[in-house]
Structure 1
């Protein structure tokens, strides 16, 4: 357990880690995982379009794919 006043640390491999950057990476990963599953992180609520995240149609990934 590390006290909160320690903001950076160096692990055994020699890399220095920043606690805030690590937390941001973890939050991003959790958000991307929730988005990939089609669910929100918060309890279900209505969206501006009136549909919950579970009822939305998936979008096609077309970025970078040339049209024939």
Structure 2
């Protein structure tokens, strides 16, 4: 996994490279790839709680309360 401190330097180099080539190709491609990866991870995070729970050893009630009094 790349170091976080190196990312701004790499982004600046990418922007500088795109400016010298006369187009936003590399930067736009990077933004799109990161956006799609972020959307996939967000969807996975939001939808992972809606499963039956059988793979994680839960009883399948979704983690909610089983009765009106919370038992």
TM range (shorter): 0.3 to 0.5
- Structure with the greater alpha carbon radius of gyration: 2
Q: Which has the higher strand share?
A: 1
Q: Which has the higher helix share?
A: 2
